[in-house]
A and B are shown apart, each in its own frame.
Chain A
Amino acid sequence: MANECCFRTLDLDRPWLLEQYRSRGGYDALARVLGDPMDPAAIIDELKTSGLRGRGGAGFPTGVKWSFIRRDEPGDKYIVCNSDEGEPGTFKDRDILRYNPHALIEGMIIAGYVVGANVGYNYIRGEFWEPYERFEGALEEARAAGLLGKDILGSGFDFDIHSHLGAGAYICGEETALLESIEGKKGQPRFKPPFPAMFGLYGRPTLINNTESLASVPEILRRGGEWFRDLGVKNSGGTKLFSVSGNVNRPGNFEVSMGIPFRELLEMAGGVKDGRRLKGVIPGGSSSPVVPGDLMMELNMDYDSIAGAGSMLGSGAVIVMDDSNCMVRVLERMAYFYHEESCGQCTPCREGTGWLYRVVHRIERGEGRPEDLDLLDDVAARIQGRTICALGDAAALPVAGMLRHFREEFEYHIDHKRCMVGAR
């Protein structure tokens, strides 16, 4: 089964239009929620039943997160959508914004109703101009149709949504950095606790979810939590968008059931390019440790299966690498990324990511020293768990993963001052 949830209008002509969304049951859930006002607790229960887990990477149960904000707490509250999509390998939220923006809008309105918020912000990364314009167009359509703004569908409930455009900073995907960024500051993560549910945007209770999480909500409510849950497997309910890229014949986004065997997903993406051998897969965005190809072929695409192999499902970004690639080179590029994107606020991350990059860089250039691999392990271990936000872990985990599974390539680089694969 494919394209059941966020992509359910994808086969239509100009699927982003309101009429197209409506032709597939769009805004039915909202009408039901607001019509004979539903008990917010019942909506939360439905989400808990569905097994929906945060699609931004951490996999936190969405229904549970929604229950953290007290609806009756007086004062302003906010819904924030995370469309910063910066995790290398991930490109699914871009397609939700481009092809089904109304699902996100409907999800945000329902979220607003549940936690008692009247304003929502969608933080869209600054490079996403086309998706931003699509989203803006959908907002206008929704306002004109009385689905957004004052007294939605005559229910007395007010809710409006504004886009906020980023300006190029991976760290702003981290939820508290994102909030700082909306407040007009550098995107530097906050200490937690307090969590956004208590102290979020402008110091007010804030619900922050990923684009795909929010866009999944309307269809879950329309067809029921059990329907969604049963599409997936234990602990991984529903469908998920997998962004498959790298050395495959037909890269792209695939909305499929959680728990689908990796080999089937790979087939959908046209298999490994040029009939080459599958060497390794980064299964959940560049922050997730690499899994060797043979092992990956035995895994299923759900939280538990991937975790069982020592990695993470993360954002569902699957980077496929064939045997022509040098893993030292791949890790060097990733280490450069984290060093470049570290916000510089806390020492283990700021200094540690620099160390990781410089050491992998010198190994790649054939200037590595015998003690370098232990040094990398040591630096990675000193970052992990010691930083203000999870960017430190995201930088350290891939290093540990590469050294665990492809150590001999690194040793070869050090011993022979050249590449084992002959990539260059």
Chain B
Amino acid sequence: MSFKHSPMVRVADPVDKEALFTPEIRAEIDRWVAKYPPEWRQSAVMAGLRILQDHNGGWLTQPLMDDLAAYLDMPEVAVYEVATFYSMYSLEPVGRHKLCVCTNVSCMLNGSDRLVEHLEKRLGTRLGGTTEDGRFTLKEVECLGACGGAPVMQLGRQYYENLTPEILDSILDGLE
């Protein structure tokens, strides 16, 4: 095979990578970089974005993405492409708790509409919105791969299954 296939090239002055992130964040990203061939540092871009987002209250800023590009030796625009393509990255501020409610077919058949309605009413915001106090963001998501427990919601790293408006209330009551 003689297809051209090499990592993207970054045309910019080299930077001091140690100055870009805290040692803690660098260690986290480096753990991912180590999984891939040395010339393919850019393979860690997805993990890097996730890590930066988690350390930044759930969303990504352009300076953060630019720093990651420098850290992984890739063009800035290539990082923006990834950050805008995947649904789990957020380019705008989000609430402290991001409620991701699945409304795909199996969940719909099991009453996800009721959950959405209930949440919209209780939080006073529509799907895609964030409450004024910045506590909650309400998001519609596609099938979470847990349809046996429909309807399903993801909150942080956890799934909540077989939900009813009552169970939702008790979950929300327990959050800050």
> What's the Cα separation between A203 and B106 when bound, in Å?
38
> With a CB–CB cut-off of 8 A, which chain B residues contact A333?
103-105, 108
> Which residues in chain A, 19-61, are within 8 Å of chain B measured between CB atoms?
none
Q: Is the CB of B105 within 8 A of A330?
A: yes
Listed stretches A8-16, A84-92, A147-155, A258-266; interface member: A84-92
User: Quick check: B3 and A203 within 8 Å, CB to CB?
Assistant: yes
Q: Which of B31-64 contact A (CB under 8 A)?
A: 35-37, 40, 42-47, 49-50
For this complex, into which size category does the number of interface residues on chain A fall? 35 or more
Partner of A89, one of B1, B37, B81, B106: B106
Report if A229 contacts B (CB, 8 A).
no
Is A185 a contact partner of B81 (Cβ separation < 8 A)? yes
Among A88, A184, A203, A325, the residue within 8 A (CB) of B142 is A88
A182 within 8 A of B: yes
* CB of A414 within 8 Å of the partner chain: no
* B74 and chain A: residue at smallest CB distance: A184
Count of residues in B whose CB is under 8 Å from the partner chain: 48
A65 within 8 A of B: no
CA distance A245 to B148 in the complex (A): 5
9-residue interface stretch from B82-90, B128-136, B163-171: B82-90
Contact of A199 with B by CB under 8 A: yes
B43–A183 CB distance below 8 A:
yes
Q: Are the C-beta atoms of B106 and A245 separated by less than 8 Å?
A: yes
Q: A86-B142, A167-B49 known; A325 and B85 CB under 8 Å? A: no
Which partner residue on chain B sits nearest A132 by CB separation? B157
Q: Closest approach, in angstroms, between the C-beta of A324 and any C-beta of chain B? A: 9
Chain B residues whose CB sits within 8 angstroms of the CB of A247 once the complex forms = 109-110
Interface residues of A (CB under 8 A from B): 76, 85-91, 93-94, 121, 125-130, 162, 164-170, 181-187, 194, 198-199, 202-203, 243-247, 251-253, 282, 286, 317, 319, 321, 325, 329-330, 333-334, 337, 340-341, 343
Given A125-B145, A245-B106, 8 other A-B residues pairs in contact with their CB atoms under 8 A: A88-B106, A91-B147, A93-B145, A164-B47, A184-B42, A187-B86, A199-B3, A319-B106
Ranked 7 nearest A-B pairs via Cβ: A203-B5, A168-B87, A167-B86, A184-B42, A129-B157, A168-B88, A245-B147
